[in-house]
Amino acid sequence: MKRAVSVILISLAMLAGWFPLPAFAQAAVDKPVSVTVDGLPVAFDVPPVIRNGRTLVPFRAIAEALNVKVSWDGSTRTVSATDGRTSIRLQIGNKTAYRNGEPIPLDVPPQVVSGRTMLPLRFFGEAFGCKVAWDETARSVAIASPPKEMSVIGFYALGDSKTSSWTNLFGRPYPEAAAGNTDAVGELALGWYSLDREGNLLTKSRTGWQRPEGWEKVLEAAKEYNLKPEMVVHVTDGDGTLSALLADEAARRTAAAAILAEARQYQGVNLDFEGLGYQSGGEELASIRGRFTEFVRLLAEQLRPLGLNLTLTLHAPNSAYKGYDYRSLGEIADRIIIMAYDYGATPEPVSLVTQAVEMARAEVSPEKLILGISAPAETAESIVTKVGIAKRYGLGGIALWRLGLVSGEMWAALRSTVVPRR
């Protein structure tokens, strides 16, 4: 703080002609302005500039970061932008902008700098409902985008008394229920089922996934608070169970029939088949991918006539598990949850999560993709950034692992950045 004040005083002295700026003060003045949206940096081909105390940025880069469509009219030197609800119009050199047709005075007009059209950042952001904060010391602008409507799925699974999914969601000890945090979630992925090698549906598995006593009460409470329930079938391949199941055609058909019979109580099915393709390659990997894809196709064909959705929870494409053909699976399933976590650092590295999303998005339509977020690996601040990745890449939503591990601060952060689709 003292250093910032010193820089300001010395700068004023320089303007008065008293003495030259020292090196540290000149460095502070010359430091480039950085911009983030939901904690994610925005890259500019021409750096932001400050004019009369206002930050100007290249309009296309900031528009892309906010998923705003923009157009440029060279004949009138006018920029138009819309997010589908709000429209703005600005003209180079004109200190009057228009938001939904209403004139708004600007302190600084749009300008052309180094061949790029530069717009006043605060006006642009706030026009689309963003919160814009300037840090003088860091010479940085932090933009918080407005809450966006998208799917918000909460994994509901057994925990201990301190990490109860029920209590975390409904705000009361079981079996009492209240609104709790139900406003921040739209769907429940109920982690209650597994399969054995023969395709028999299990309500208690060797990995700890099981359907709890009084599970009917969960469905009743979900209905009361308008939460859509999906049954999750979780199988791992640590002991070869999953590979054996998928390699046996009779077992696959048994499994599909069992899942179909149970699914009638829910609004969809979520297959969480983990561990496929670890250290596999060549024909072996192709075979693993093909068998899983065929099982997914078999199940989807039986679920659709009943109006039931099929969700897949998959290892991220940049994980060690390569047994998932994202392109083919994306054509069959209604949506895919990307488990973009367990990278070995906390919070989960933004670069790797972003890479996972980009790789998945190259194979699957973004609206079908859901970004999986592991609450134990995140903070309230970092969870906003993870949601920001889903926003920036136009994904269909987010999935939280798991209810019971989402802190009060995280719930508050989620409410500030996302609105559950119902």
Q: Which residues of 76-109 are buried (b: 16+ CB within 10 A; e: fewer)?
A: eebbebbbeeebbbbbeeeeebbbeeeeeebebb
* Stretch 69-81: mean pLDDT: 96
The architecture CATH gives domain 148-420: Alpha-Beta Barrel (3.20)
% pLDDT > 70, the chain: 93
Residues 8-20, mean pLDDT to the nearest whole number: 44
Q: Which residue has the tokens 């070869």?
A: 240
Give one DSSP letter per residue of 213-272, joined into a string. Answer: TTHHHHHHHHHHTT-EEEEEEEEE-TTSHHHHHHH-HHHHHHHHHHHHHHHTTSSEEEEE
The pLDDT of residue 61 is above 80? yes
Looking at residue 22, its pLDDT comes to 52
Two tokens, residue 282: 């060549």
pLDDT mean over 352-380: 98
Q: Measured at the alpha carbon of residue 60, what is the angle toward residues 352 and 64, in degrees to the nearest 5? A: 40
Instruction: Give me the pLDDT at residue 16, please.
Output: 42
Weakest mean pLDDT among 24-38, 339-353, 373-387, 388-402: 24-38
Domains 24-144 and 148-420 share a fold: no
- pTM of this prediction? 0.91
Q: What is the pLDDT of residues 386-422, one digit of tens each?
A: 999 999 999 999 999 999 999 999 999 999 999 999 9
Q: What is the pLDDT of residue 18?
A: 43
pLDDT mean across residues, the chain: 93
Instruction: Determine contact, residues 281/293, Cβ cutoff 8 Å.
Output: no
174 DSSP 8-state letter: T
pLDDT band at 162 (very low <50, low <70, confident <90, very high): very high
- Residue 206 has what pLDDT? 83
**Residue 291 CA: distances (Å) to CA of 77, 243, 285, 300, 317:** 57, 9, 10, 14, 18
**pLDDT value at residue 29:** 53
Question: Alpha-carbon dihedral of residues 132, 81, 382, 354, nearest 10 degrees?
Answer: -150
Domain locations in the chain as residue ranges: 24-144, 148-420
DSSP 60-125: HHHHHHTT-EEEEETTTTEEEEE-SS-EEEEETT-SEEEETTEEEE-SS--EEETTEEEEEHHHHH
How far apart CA 145 and CA 157 sit, in angstroms, is: 31
pLDDT of residue 216: 97
In this prediction, residue 107 carries a pLDDT of 94
Question: What are 188's strand-pairing partners?
Answer: 154, 229
User: pLDDT tens for residues 311-341?
Assistant: 999 999 999 999 999 999 999 999 999 999 9
Residue by residue, DSSP assigns 122-163 as HHHHHHTT-EEEEETTTTEEEEEPPPEEEEEEEEE----TTS
**pLDDT band for position 31 (50/70/90)?**
confident
Segment 56-66 mean pLDDT: 95
Per-residue pLDDT reduced to its tens digit, 193-242: 999 999 999 999 888 889 999 999 999 999 999 999 999 999 999 899 99
CATH topology of domain 24-144: Copper Amine Oxidase; Chain A, domain 1 (3.30.457)
Q: Among candidates 353, 360, 373, which has minimal Cα distance to 414? A: 373
